[in-house]
Amino acid sequence: MELKQLESNSSLPAKSLLNLATIFKLAQELKDYFYADFLDTSDYPILAALFSELYSNKSVVDKIFSSIVDENTIDDKASKNLQSLRKQKRKIEQDIRTKLNDLIHSSSYSKYIQENIVTIRNDRFVIPVKEEYRTQVKGFIHDISNAGSTLFIEPISVFDMNNELNSLKIEEELEIEKILLELSKLFFPYTTELEKDIRLIGELDFIFAKAKYSKSIKATTPIVNTKKEIYLKNARHPLIAAEKVVPISLNLGNDFSTLLITGPNTGGKTVTLKTVGLLICMACSGLSIPCDEHSSIYVFDNIFADIGDDQSISDSLSTFSSHMLNIVEITKNATENSLILVDELGSGTDPLEGAHLAISILDYFKSIRSLSIATTHYQELKQYALVTQGFKNASVEFDISTLSPTYKLLVGIPGKSNAFEISKKLGLSEEIISKAKSYMNSKEIDIENLLKSIYDDKSLIEKEKAEIEEELSKVKNLRISLEKDNKDLLLQEQNIINNAKVQARNILLDAKEDANEIIKQMNEISNSKDLENLRNKLTNKIKDIKLTDSNFLDKQPSSININDIKPNFEVFVTTLGQPGIVVSSRVSKSNEVLVQVGSLKTSINIKYLEKINTSSNTNKSKNKTNNSSASYGTISKSKTAKTEINVIGMTVEEALFVVDKFLDDCSLAKLQSARIVHGKGTGKLRDGIHKFLKSHPHVKSYRMGTFGEGEMGVTVVEIK
């Protein structure tokens, strides 16, 4: 409707403009969602093609929503003229109300007034006057109350003001029409884009609705084969409650093309037909189906079904006649690529004739190479399926002890109607049942006994098969668990080696610094006694360093995985050699997570993070208090702290980490001031450092360098 109006360059009402703007807005929101960081669009090529075609126009959307408050209100700021008109209108309305309020509260007029209110009639401000004083108030009568006791009069004193107000209202309406036309013109060039957006949004909504429904019924996407086969594993009827439905499994079209399902009434034969038919229709419609993975379907040209009883007295149709009419239509239209589902084939007529007619019909379906599933009670059909190639018997399980169906489908054996057993359980006398059995000939009895034996063996096999599958599932889960544990152990071993390397490096660096200091002092000492004292001092210092196995084992960091990542989770950062706290549970595509180390927040790859146990945290706290780092193999550098550091060329995050450690060293060395060289540049590095210094615990104050100190390229810090 709106698009047709746009194509004819017509002005649209406010509601239509909001609807069109909402389409552009929704298109932008959909694109923002799809191209967000948490989605890898390359995994969804079909959806990516649809999302990429969406068109949005932010300037048009902003203009519409800033000009229209709702479908009945245009914003004052939509145009300067509208804002001016409404300002004048409000002023005149206020003047009229003030004048009429003064009138109705005046001593000379108050006795004429019915109520002390100002109201509106015929779009003009009026006051309620008592009927008997109508001549005392000069003005125009616009309305009379139902009882006739009150007249609504517009006093002459506000007549001109009301006229002016109405003129402004007319101008306001004209201005609004002008604004709506201008806003409508914004959409004139985009009718094609709007039409495409509407189609794409509808298509995406349909896709996501299918996905949401599939998720709600725990459905999977079946494999579409070209071999004209149906393989359903643990298929469930989607309209039966999940806690009640009994899954079925069947394979049709591979070794046989006709499946004959037998068994007692209410056993689940018809539900099986409906489940197969409904799931095939769902799959052919692009829906996922409620069954296990690796299920497979074929896209049939038609699915024919004769299920239920369509007998009609008015149409002179019996049960048999109604079924035959459907069968006739199926035989006329079925092809080799059709699926045929028939319930109680040949029922409603003479059993012998019905059975042979059913055999002939199923033979015809087989001859045209279509796939078919039929249910029946006829013994002749069971026997025919046993000896005929392309046919397969199946049955629905029935618990005789409880007289209740289990709804399990057993493919490969015919079922029994269990009429004698059910009748006996319901209380029919043994004499009647025995006599009924005597009417059956020996051949029929032998076949029934054979079927019972096969049925019992098949039931036992199915139970054993289920138990084997359950045990295999447990073995599979155990194997996966062992593989994961082995992987974790290897990762933990690698982390221990890496940590040992870091500790060794730190020890070597500290030893190098001490060696340099000793060489420096030796060069300054000529007395051999002083050299001996220096050697003893170094020996004592080495003895004080305790790098014991328990100290290392007490730390025992372990690797973490994505599932461990959560806010406030304590970790050890191997690349920095310091503990940290996880800030966010969000993990980027490159497996990085936001961690706070001291006052610095930085993104670190998960492989450089380790868990920290409570005992190791306690040891770390003690070591920090004693100004030593035995847990990590470092030695205090308070005596060699520098008074100046250069961070030129670093990013803000890199510089803050270096400055933080530098200030710690300065505080340990009891320095009073220090210099941070950051350069002039754009000032971004300087501003970041200054913001960091404001809240640092070791900083008493700071200032820019003066002439000779580096001026704007240096910050001088006074240490607490």
Q: Convert the pLDDT of each residue in 86-125 to its tens digit.
A: 999 999 999 999 999 999 888 888 889 988 899 999 999 9
The pair phi, psi for residue 440, each rounded to 5°, is -80, 135
More confident residue, 558 or 644: 644
Domains and CATH numbers, the chain: 2-74+186-215 (no CATH), 80-185 (1.10.1420.10), 223-439 (3.40.50.300), 510-632 (no CATH), 638-719 (3.30.1370.110)
DSSP conformational letter for 222: P
Q: Of the given ranges (116-130, 393-407, 568-582, 652-666), which has the lowest mean pLDDT?
A: 393-407
SS3 136: coil
Across 412-428, b (16+ Cβ under 10 Å) vs e yields ebbbbbbebbeeeeeee
pLDDT given for residue 655 in this prediction:
87
Does the pLDDT of residue 620 top 50, yes or no?
no
Q: Convert the pLDDT of each residue in 540-560 to its tens digit.
A: 555 555 444 444 444 445 667
* Both tokens assigned to 508: 């070597």
Q: Which residues pair with 151 in a beta bridge?
A: 129, 144
More confident residue, 375 or 597: 375
The model's pTM: 0.53
Render 27-58 in DSSP notation, one character per residue: HHHHHHHHTSTT--GGG-HHHHHHHHH----H
Distance between CA atoms of residues 465 and 472, nearest Å:
10
Does the pLDDT of residue 308 top 60, yes or no?
yes
What's at 503, amino acid-wise? Answer: Q
Q: How confident is the prediction for the chain on average, in pLDDT?
A: 82
**Tokens 């050299």 belong to which residue?**
531
* Both tokens assigned to 259: 């499946």
Does the pLDDT of residue 295 top 90, yes or no?
yes
Render 573-589 in DSSP notation, one character per residue: ETTTTEEEEE--S---T
454 pLDDT tier (thresholds 50, 70, 90): low
pLDDT given for residue 520 in this prediction:
66
